Structure 1
Amino acid sequence: MAVFLSTYVNKVDRKGRVSIPAQFRQSLAKTSAPSTIYLWPSLNHQALEGADQDYLDVLSESLESPDLDAAERDLIETFIFGKSIPVPMDGEGRIVLPRELAEFAGIEEEASFIGRRKTFQIWEPNALKAHEATLREQAVRKDISLSQIVAKAARGASSRNGGDA
């Protein structure tokens, strides 16, 4: 499964083609279908979500869990699998953004790619800047820090393993 890191802004040409960031292409090269990505409208933002085939396979398997609420399963099946579009990469690492997806995200001349570990998002650059500013304000207001997140995860792992918290 690919791992997507960092943020890149790339030009979109008149034909709707945009280059996949080189780091993303390097990660995709290690997957089962390195020349195809899957895009769908974000559930929470005016942006696109993207992933490789391996991630969609894991997500599909996860939907078999008896712990998953039927409404959540329906949501994922309808809005992720039902709206996903396989997008092939050409030999130069470019894709053609499907018109309906580009319109949904407001992407015209430039596209911002932001890595989110096992998935990535594609935003209109100014919309991404506004979203990042909102997230930064939330982090400050809630006093979120990486050390707190790591400590919280360690406590959770300890309690799942029967150790002391």
Structure 2
Amino acid sequence: MSEVTQIMVGKYRIGVIGLKKTIADLGKTHINKSDSEVEAELINRISKNNYIAPNLRKDFGKALLTKFKRAHGIDSEENNLQTNADFPDIRVLGPGCSQCNKMESLVIEVLNEINLAASVEHITDIKEIAQYGVMGTPALVINSKVVWVGSVPSKAKLKALLESDASETKC
């Protein structure tokens, strides 16, 4: 299973699968390329295993480029990216079992279908999961509120949960 690295896109912390490996691999071929070429290739490779909302691709790319530059000791200004997007913070709670992974994949699939930008993180640490007070996994947390526990919701139910929460966050 690939490692998840947290990055900041604006004021949101987002988990990215396989970022460290991608940055290391790109360092071998793109270290002397332009920022735009590196950014485009980072987005291309990272989007294969991660959801990147279309309206956040630019900010996401800049955040990835910053990580790339830091990893390879390239001087750059700190990017304190800000975005006007007000999107939900989604957390899948579970130790990494097949059901938990299924829920995470389903969340990303539904987000793509409804074109909703969101911060998605899969929390596998038992102590951190316990802080949410859930007695079963997988569990789904949207904006710090536990909304589902103990099974993977149907696609229709998950879509309703995400759309409901999205409309609440845009008051």
TM-score scaled by structure 2?
Answer: 0.26
Please state which structure has a larger fraction of its residues in strand.
Answer: 1
- Choose between structure 1 and 2 for higher RCO, CA contacts under 8 A separated by at least 6 residues: 1
Question: Higher Cα Rg: structure 1 or 2?
Answer: 1
Query: TM-score, normalization: structure 1?
Result: 0.27
